[in-house]
Amino acid sequence: MLVTHPFDDDKLREECGIFGVYDAEGAAAMVALGLHALQHRGQEAAGITSWDGRTFHSHRAMGHVAGNFDRDEVIRGLAGNVACGHVRYSTTGETSVRNVQPLYADLSSGGFAIAHNGNISNAMTLKKALVRDGAIFQSTSDTEVIIHLVARSNYRTLLDRFIDALKQVEGAYSLICLTSEGMIACRDPLGIRPLVMGRLGESIIFASETVAFDVVGAEYIRSVEPGELIVVTQDGEIRSHHPFNETRARPCIFEHVYFSRPDSIVDGSSVYSVRKAIGAQLAIESPIDADYIIPVPDSGVPAALGYAQQANIPFELGIIRSHYVGRTFIQPGDKVRHLGVKLKHNANRALIAGKRVILIDDSIVRGTTSLKIVQMMREAGASEVHMRIASPPTRHSCFYGVDTPERAKLLAHKMDVAQMCAFIHADSLAFISIDGLYKALGEAGRDSQNPRYCDACFTGDYPTRLTDFDETIEVNQLELLRERVA
């Protein structure tokens, strides 16, 4: 039986990653390299679509970029100097090839391919209306709704039809669209999902993260602004459009905590530096005596370094991670399933036996990882095991393209911090405060009236309408009210 690795279902999955290249020889090969750098954002499926001036070519498959796009015959089949690609986790829509992006359609104006990072939170409502009007959907992905809205728009130009479509959707999106007229890159009005622009010679490149530019040797130019559409025309002209009403941006704060690679720049800030600052702030807020600071690899490493430097406690690798374990493996029984936990993480017993340790991790979702890690430290002989978390408690589901469990399965929704500490069998547990997280990002604290970031997973303060989830949100709000009254 194939099942998910015990640690894999206890993290917030990283939405999706997108990458596009305009005017580059062998564009598809460059896109494949860029997607390699973005593989952490989606490990379920990958796809690339190219345009050779006459014909669109696509290759989409389940699995990683490596193995699907490392064969010469695949890249040769993706001819042209223009291409876009996508790596995916299924935040909406079933897990199948028909939902792998870029999605492609032949419109009246010609071919149209789209790669989407995010989630359209009124997609179900829009889809019902479109189906009633005769639309036929080929996937269960929310992204296909945008294609149908573009196809049915009465505006004259493709760009105007695209803008018309986006004005009907709610939620979060960064999009790269490939047409016979050029390439369009855009970001939702709140800038919830990231998107950056770069250049390599005469080639224009768009990506979810700057690290993808480093891999292909491109220069980072700037972030695509919230609500901005950038059009690259056939003659290489770059045009910027701002068709939406001006609103206060609220990019996802969890990009800084976990999603983005540490070597990326997000909204002008080094992710690595921010995570170290988060760790330092966590040490200020929740100090405790210990012999070693130990990161839960790999996402806890920068915050652990910041905590160790602030607390003046040695940083040590007390947990060793194997990088050769896939996301799934054979588990024929409970005994082997329990042993399988140590395939991915194992305690450095010689280091931690008899020592007081502080474990640093980026978040607690269901709590199963924290429970296993604390148990591992105990079995290795640690005299005390304390846990510090580099984000506030995750109490609410995300509806903006992050694959979070339903709220009832979030440990911080069911328990307070003391109960969570008892659940994972730690000697102490503390999270960074929401104000402390904002301070690590250079703010004075969280402005409850005008927060700088989307932090709904911590606060329940959703920045947009959530038409398809209104009932869920109303339940959440009632629960929040009960908690405050209690």
pLDDT tens per residue across span 299-340: 899 999 999 999 999 999 999 987 776 544 444 454 554 555
**3-state helix/strand/coil string of 139-172:** CCCCHHHHHHHHHHCCCCCHHHHHHHHHCCCCEE
The answer to the question of residue 477 being in a domain is: yes
289 shares a domain with 230: no
Which single residue is written with the structure tokens 């990283």?
Answer: 14
Shared domain for 53 and 195, answered yes or no, is: yes
- Write out the two tokens for 362: 């980026």
**Residue 258 in domain:** no
Residue 3 lies in a domain: no
Beta strand residue intervals within 365-435, DSSP E: 384-389, 428-431
pLDDT at 225 over 80: yes
Catalytic residue of the set 16, 252, 421, 454:
16
Domain co-membership, 241 together with 270: no
**Is the same domain home to 334 and 470?**
yes
| pLDDT tens, position by position, 141-165 | 999 999 999 999 999 999 999 999 9
Q: Does 421 qualify as catalytic in the annotation?
A: no
Selected residue with higher pLDDT from 1 and 16:
16
My answer on whether 271 and 129 are in the same domain is no
Q: Which residue has the tokens 């290249």?
A: 21
Q: Let me know whether 434 and 330 are in one domain.
A: yes
Domain that holds residue 445: 265-485
Over residues 270-309, the pLDDT tens digits come to 999 999 999 999 999 999 999 999 999 988 999 999 999 9
Which of 218, 248, 278 finishes a domain?
248
Domain match, 369 and 237 both: no
In a domain, 259, yes or no: no
Final residue in a domain of this structure, among 248, 275, 294: 248
25 assigned to some structural domain:
yes
Q: In terms of domains, do 208 and 299 share one?
A: no
Tell whether 8 is covered by a domain.
Answer: no
Residues 375 and 414 in one domain: yes
| Whether residue 286 sits in one domain with residue 225 | no
Tens digit of pLDDT for each residue in 40-77? 999 999 999 999 999 999 999 999 999 899 899 999 99
* Number of domains observed in the structure of the chain: 2
CB within 8 A of 250, min separation 6: which ones?
190, 191, 192, 451, 452, 453, 454, 463
Which pLDDT does position 13 carry in this prediction? 60
Q: Confirm whether pTM is higher than 0.75.
A: yes
- Is 193 in the same domain as 272? no
Token pair in block for residue 28: 């598809």
Instruction: Verify that 136 and 238 share a domain, yes or no.
Output: yes
Residue 6 located in a structural domain: no
Nearest-Å Rg of the Cα atoms of the chain is 23
- CATH code for position 139: 3.60.20.10
Is 255 inside any structural domain?
no
What is the domain-level CATH number for residue 439?
Answer: 3.40.50.2020
